[in-house]
């Protein structure tokens, strides 16, 4: 059983029974909600929210923009409650050596959203990890070493091309669906992309392009993209940019399923923390989109996808710039205590987190960077962003730090961050 909680903004939350009586944030609008002490069978239109009993059966999914404003919230809850021992992430099998696994495709659910990408990962993911019996076998020692991300070790796949028109928007902007065609057994070999083309005519190598990964992960798994989330990319398209939204290997459909969770971690690590997916998206643009200026390709991401964007900036010299909104710059520090009691797997996971840590590879950044952060961000502390910016500057990286006074984790990106990024891109 569980509690179905409906926020005024339209988001429907499926909560654990033990959250009864707690105060939570709506992952979409970030409003504070009070979970009732008992289930309410009847709802009232004048209530700020309504709760009804709901079974845990069936596939959990959510509509709307997706999964990132609280993309790290399950770990924040774990750390806050001190429930390290009770987290049944049984990682003893990390000591085993496996080649890159064959990873099946995943659906659009990762911590409460379809697609990606933004307005709120679920704040109710803790129980899934507690109950999962997660047993992560994370590839070979070489792929999990702390020597750095190496997306170039994975072959570039074939792509389906711009043959599948998904939607034509008012004003003539178009969106196409593209897939990698090299198969599930190769990291990034079956990834999904959505390509947005602005309506205006353009000549060869004329338009800037922005690559956007999906947010809403715990930095150990990937995420899918959906065809119905555009809020995070639409301003770029209207500004005349080509946009490519790309999936990250390791999306997990059911966090209650230990096998799926294990496969998700394996796949994300085999894809070098999503940098293989980002590299593939870049290769597709260079191969198939002649209207894009190859010297003006940027990478952007919010929350956990901002971390991926910063990793891309550290490994990919062909990028013109990187925009990271409310990104976690220190995943090791964020997850260390939550993973501390997980036996032999702890060292392997921490090695991987060191590989994807922007703090660790600041000197490797190969392009200008724009960091955006709200001062009242309750998910990723503003202080973490400010320290990271100083590290970038000390490393000699051209860095612009843009801040918002308030708004928390997600909405400032939409209201202030993306408009600032468009101006920033136009200057680079």
Domain range list for the chain: 1-58, 151-251+270-328+357-426
* % of the chain residues with pLDDT over 70: 66
Say which residue, 27 or 221, is predicted with more confidence: 221
List of residues 6+ apart from 5 with CB closer than 8 A: 12, 13, 14, 15, 33, 35, 49, 50, 51
Of 91-105, 150-164, 197-211, 290-304, the poorest mean pLDDT is in: 91-105
Of 141-150, 192-201, 323-332, 393-402, the poorest mean pLDDT is in: 141-150
Segment 257-285 mean pLDDT: 94
pTM over 0.85: no
Residue 207: strand, helix, or coil = strand
pLDDT, tens digit, for every residue of 27-83?
655 566 766 643 223 333 332 222 333 332 333 333 333 333 333 333 332 333 222
Segment 85-103 mean pLDDT: 29
Say which residue, 68 or 301, is predicted with more confidence: 301
Of 339-343, 380-384, 394-398, 413-417, the poorest mean pLDDT is in: 339-343
Whether the per-residue pLDDT at 96 is higher than 50: the answer is no
Tell me what pLDDT residue 7 has: 76
Tell me what pLDDT residue 77 has: 29
Q: Is residue 260 very low, low, confident or very high in pLDDT (cuts 50, 70, 90)? A: confident
Tell me what pLDDT residue 305 has: 98
pLDDT, tens digit, for every residue of 181-195?
998 889 999 999 999
Whether the per-residue pLDDT at 99 is higher than 50: the answer is no
* % of the chain residues with pLDDT over 90: 57
Length of the chain: 428
Segment 15-23 mean pLDDT: 58
Segment 107-123 mean pLDDT: 31
Q: What does the mean pLDDT of the chain come to?
A: 76
Whether the per-residue pLDDT at 310 is higher than 60: the answer is yes
Q: Which CATH fold would you assign to the domain 151-251+270-328+357-426?
A: Rossmann fold (3.40.50)
Residue 61: strand, helix, or coil = coil
Segment 224-243 mean pLDDT: 95
Tell me what pLDDT residue 28 has: 59
Segment 81-99 mean pLDDT: 29
Q: Is residue 307 very low, low, confident or very high in pLDDT (cuts 50, 70, 90)? A: very high
Contact 135, 95 (CB under 8 A): no
Say which residue, 125 or 179, is predicted with more confidence: 179
Tell me what pLDDT residue 373 has: 98
Of 155-164, 218-227, 283-292, 338-347, the poorest mean pLDDT is in: 338-347
Segment 360-374 mean pLDDT: 96
Segment 335-345 mean pLDDT: 79
Of 70-84, 101-115, 245-259, 268-282, the poorest mean pLDDT is in: 101-115
- Say which DSSP state 325 is in: E
What residues form DSSP beta bridges with 116?
66
Tell me what pLDDT residue 14 has: 61
């Amino acid at each position: 059983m569980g509690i179905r909680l409906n926020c005024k903004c339209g988001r429907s939350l499926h909560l654990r029974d033990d959250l009864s009586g707690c105060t939570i944030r709506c992952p979409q609008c970030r409003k504070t909600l009070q979970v009732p002490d008992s289930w309410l069978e009847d709802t009232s239109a004048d209530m700020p929210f309504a709760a009804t009993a709901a079974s845990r059966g069936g596939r959990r999914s959510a509509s709307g923009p997706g999964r990132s404003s609280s993309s790290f919230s399950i770990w924040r809850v774990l750390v806050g409650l001190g429930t390290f021992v009770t987290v049944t992430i049984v990682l003893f099998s990390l000591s085993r050596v496996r080649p890159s696994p064959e990873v099946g495709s995943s659906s659009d659910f990762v911590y409460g959203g379809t697609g990606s990408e933004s307005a709120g990962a679920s704040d109710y993911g803790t129980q899934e990890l507690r109950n999962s019996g997660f047993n992560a076998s994370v590839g070979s020692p070489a792929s999990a070493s702390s020597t750095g991300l190496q997306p170039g070790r994975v072959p570039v796949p074939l792509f389906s091309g711009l043959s599948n028109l998904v939607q034509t928007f008012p004003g003539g902007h178009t969106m196409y669906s593209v897939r990698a065609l090299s198969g599930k057994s190769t990291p990034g070999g079956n990834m999904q992309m959505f390509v947005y083309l602005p309506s205006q005519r353009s000549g060869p190598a004329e338009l800037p392009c922005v690559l956007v990964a999906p947010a809403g992960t715990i930095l150990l798994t990937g995420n899918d993209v959906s065809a119905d989330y555009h809020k995070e990319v639409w301003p770029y398209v209207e500004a005349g940019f080509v946009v490519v939204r790309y999936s990250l290997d390791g999306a997990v459909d059911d966090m209650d399923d230990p096998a799926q969770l294990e496969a998700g971690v394996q796949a994300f690590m085999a894809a070098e923390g999503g940098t293989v997916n980002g590299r593939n998206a870049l290769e597709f643009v260079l191969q198939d989109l002649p209207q894009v200026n190859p010297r003006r390709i940027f990478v952007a991401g919010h929350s956990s996808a901002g971390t991926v964007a910063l990793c891309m900036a550290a490994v990919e010299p062909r990028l013109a710039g990187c925009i990271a909104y409310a990104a976690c710059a220190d995943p090791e520090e964020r997850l260390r205590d939550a993973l501390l009691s997980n036996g032999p797997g702890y060292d392997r996971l921490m090695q991987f987190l060191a590989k994807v840590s922007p703090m660790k590879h600041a000197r490797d950044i190969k392009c200008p960077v724009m960091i955006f952060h709200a001062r009242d961000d309750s998910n990723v502390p503003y202080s973490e962003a400010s320290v990271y910016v100083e590290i970038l500057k000390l490393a000699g990286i051209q860095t612009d730090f843009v801040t918002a006074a308030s708004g928390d984790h997600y909405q400032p990106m939409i209201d202030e961050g993306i408009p600032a990024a468009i101006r920033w891109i136009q200057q680079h």
